[in-house]
Amino acid sequence: MKTSILPPLSYVRCVQRLTYNVVANRFLNTFILCILFLLIGQSVDGNQARTVKSIILREKNTYSTPDEKHILQLMRTKVGSDYDENVLKEDFSTIVRYLKNKGFTYARIDKSDDPVKLVENEIHIGIVIDKGVIGEITLEGNRKTHDDVVLQELLFKTGEIYTKDDREESERIIRQKRYISDAYIDSSWDEELKAINVHVIVTEEWSITGAIDVPIGRNSSTFLLNVQETNLNGSGHGTQLRYERINEIEEQARSYFKWQYEMPRLFSSYWNIDGEYIQKREGDSWVVKLERPQYTLKSRWSTRLILSEGVDQVRWYEAGEKTATFNRNVQIGSGDMMRYFGERHQQIYTGLWIRSQRLRDVTVERLIDSTALPLDRNINRIGITVGRKRVYHRKTRFLKRMGPVEDFNTGAEYNVSYGYATPWYGSDRKESIFGTAARSGWTIGDKFLSETIVGINSIFTDRFERSVLQAHSTLFFKDTFNSGDDIYTVAKGYRKNGLFDFYHSFVVQFKTEMQFGLSGESQVILGSYSGLRGYDYRQFSGEKMMLLRLESRSIFGGTIFEKIDDAVAAVVTFIASPFVKGPIRLGLVLGGTFFADIGYIWNGTQTFDILEPKRSIGFELRGGLSRVSNAGVFRLELAFPLDPPFSPSLKPKFDFGFMRAF
C-alpha cells in the first residue's frame, strides 16, 4: 500500500502561487521554490513504512491533558507502530465518541493545523481536542427577574467548556427557585465562531401571593391574612408578612404576627441569609440562618450557622382530652461544616458539628392525673457525621406538586453521626447521642416511583435512655395510558382532546414514629394532624404509631377545565388591570382523590393489636395554581371515620385547608 505524507494544502498553495507567477513573469523563480518544497515533503512509498515516534494530546485553549492515559489506550495508533492514515481517522472517531459519552456534547478534533508531522522519516502526531467552549449565553422568559439573577445560577460561563452534566444540574438549580416553575437549556454549534451558543428558557411564576382565610365552623376556626413575595423587584429575594388568629373550642384565642426576609446568593456569592421574627402572646420567637450549602454537586464543602429562640405552647393529650399545657422556651445555636469527596454522582462526606440547646417549660395548667413530665435541659454537644450518597434525578410531574416540573431523586444517601455532651463545656450532664439516617429513591420503568426515608436517634449515658424511630415511605403508581404532560403543562396550558380527560395515579404512603424512654416528655399524636383523615386534630395519643394512606388520584383535563382556567385568568386580569399590564394566568389545576386511611397507636402500657385499627374513607377535591409561587395545594375534604371512639361510624367530617405537597 502506498501513502503520501505531503501536506495537501501546502501543495495546492504552491500550485496556485505558480499560476500567479506565470502571469507576473516570475515563473522560473517560483518553479525552483516548488521543486525544493517537493524534495522536502517527498512522497512515501508503501514499502517505506514510517514509524510513529510520538503522540501528544492537548486541549484547545488550555494547558491540561484530557484523560491522556485512557485515550492512548483506546487508540489503535501506538508509539513505535507503523503509521496508517485510515487507522488514525478511526482513532479520531473513537476519541470523539468517548468524550461525548463523558458528557462533552460538542467534542471534536481540531484539524485547523495538520496533526501529522514528518520529521527525518519519523511521524509525530499532535492531537488537539476541542471539548466545546461557550461563545454566547442568551436568556428568554424572565419578564420580571433580572437577567443576572438567573444567569448566576448556571454552572458555566462564556469561555468555559459546556457539558451535559452542568446543563442538567443548572436546570435543576433554576427550577428550585420558588419563582421559576420550569427551566430548559438549549445549545447549538456556531460553525463560523467555532463555539457554542447557549440559550436558557425559563417559565416564571407569579411571585406576589396573598391569602385570606375566613373562620368557618363551630369547633375551631382560623383567620389568616398573608402576603408573600418570593422575587422582590426581580432580585430573587423573598419576604413574607403573616397574621393568624386561631380559635379552638374551650381554648383561649391565640394570634401571632410573622415577618420573614430571605436573601439568597448574598452579594452574588453562594452564601444565603434568612431571618424570621414571630410575635406571640406567649413570647417572641426569632430565627437567623447563615449558610453556604452544597450549591452544586461539584462543591467540596458546605457550612451552616443557625441561632434561634422560640416560645411555643405545648399541649398534652390523653384519650383525646387535654391534660396539661406548657409554655416552652427553646434557645438553639448550631453550626456544622461538611467536606465532600468523590465525583458528581457518587460522594462520600464527613463533617463536624456543634449544637447548644436550652429548654425551659412553664406550666400553664395541669390536671392531677396527667402523665406529662417535661424536663428542663441545658445541652451542648460536639459531634461528627460520616455519610455516603448517590445522586441521580428523573424529571416528572404531578407527584408532589400540581403542575411544575419536579426532579425526583432516584439515588440514595446514608449517614451516621455521633455527638458527646459534658459539663466541661456547659451541659447539665454527660451523655452521648448516636443517629443514623437513610434515604432511597428508585423507579421501575415509567410505572413505579418510590421514596423511603428512615431516621433513628438514641441518647445514652451508662445505658440507653431514650430513642426515636421515624420512617416515611411513598410509592407512586402512574397510569400507563395517560400522562400528566399530555393533559397540562405550565408553559402551554391544557391540551385539547375532548371535553374531559383524566390522568390517574395510585399512591401508597406509610409512616411510623416510635418513641422509647420518653414517657412524660414527649408523645405521638394520631389524627388529622398526623394524616389520619376524618378524626379530630389530636384524637389519639401514645408513644408509638403507624399510619397507612391509600389514594387514587385524578388530574382533570380537557376542554371544560381549559375554559375554567381561561375564566379565572380573565377575572384576575380584570382585577389587576390598574396595576399590571397584560394578561395574568394562574395555571389552575384541579384534581380529585378517593382515599382510605388505616392507623394504629399504642404506648408502653398497651401492646400493638392489629384488630384495633383507626380507619377512615373519603374524598378530596384538590387544586393548585401552577403559575403562582409557593401557592401550595388547597383541598376540600369529606371523610367518614369508621372507628370513632365516642360517636357512631360513617358520620361525615368536612375539612378544608392547604397542604404543602400534593
Quick one: pLDDT at residue 4? 37
Print the domain residue range for 155. 134-204
pLDDT tens digits for 224-272? 788 889 999 999 999 999 888 776 655 666 778 899 999 998 888 899 9
CATH number where 183 lies: 3.10.20.310
Q: Is the pLDDT of residue 301 over 70?
A: yes
Q: Confirm whether 34 is domain-assigned.
A: yes
Last residue of a domain, one of 204, 235, 256: 204
Q: Is the pLDDT of residue 23 over 50?
A: no
Q: Are 551 and 608 in contact (CB under 8 A)?
A: no
Last residue of a domain, one of 146, 179, 204: 204
Quick one: pLDDT at residue 34? 39
Please state the pTM of the whole predicted model: 0.82
Q: Confirm whether 370 is domain-assigned.
A: no
Listed in sequence order, the residues at least 6 apart from 133 whose beta carbon sits closer than 8 Å to its beta carbon are 60, 61, 159, 160, 161, 162, 195, 196
Q: Confirm whether 575 is domain-assigned.
A: no
Strands 122-130 and 51-59: parallel
Q: Confirm whether 1 is domain-assigned.
A: yes
Q: In the chain, pLDDT over 70 holds for what percent of residues? A: 86
Q: Is the pLDDT of residue 30 over 50?
A: no
pLDDT tens digits for 350-371? 999 999 999 998 888 888 888 8
Quick one: pLDDT at residue 38? 39
Q: Confirm whether 180 is domain-assigned.
A: yes
Q: Confirm whether 247 is domain-assigned.
A: no
Total residues found in the chain within this entry: 662
Residue 46: band (very low, low, confident or very high) from pLDDT cuts 50, 70, 90: very low
97-117: average pLDDT: 89
455-482: average pLDDT: 86
Q: Is the pLDDT of residue 41 over 50?
A: no
Q: Is the pLDDT of residue 623 over 70?
A: yes
Quick one: pLDDT at residue 225? 81
Quick one: pLDDT at residue 28? 38
Quick one: pLDDT at residue 207? 85
Measure the CA–CA gap between 167 and 186, rounded to whole angstroms. 9
Position 11: which residue type? Y
pLDDT tens digits for 509-559? 999 999 988 777 888 889 887 889 988 877 888 899 999 999 999 988 888
Please count the structural domains in the chain: 2
SS3 at position 34? helix
Q: Are 589 and 624 in contact (CB under 8 A)?
A: yes
Q: Is the pLDDT of residue 43 over 80?
A: no
Listed in sequence order, the residues at least 6 apart from 73 whose beta carbon sits closer than 8 Å to its beta carbon are none
Q: Is the pLDDT of residue 488 over 90?
A: no
Last residue of a domain, one of 176, 204, 232: 204
Residue 403: band (very low, low, confident or very high) from pLDDT cuts 50, 70, 90: confident
pLDDT tens digits for 137-163? 999 999 899 999 999 999 999 999 999
Q: Confirm whether 14 is domain-assigned.
A: yes
Other Cβ atoms closer than 10 A to 610:
6
Least confident of 317-326, 368-377, 603-612: 603-612
Quick one: pLDDT at residue 33? 31
Q: Is the pLDDT of residue 602 over 80?
A: yes
Matching residue, cell 472517531: 93
Average pLDDT, the chain: 84
Q: Confirm whether 200 is domain-assigned.
A: yes
pLDDT tens digits for 156-182? 999 999 999 999 999 999 999 989 988
Measure the CA–CA gap between 587 and 487, rounded to whole angstroms. 13
Measure the CA–CA gap between 271 and 613, rounded to whole angstroms. 48
Q: Which has the closest alpha carbon to 628: 582, 657, 599, 588?
A: 588
Most confidently predicted of 294-308, 559-573, 619-633: 294-308
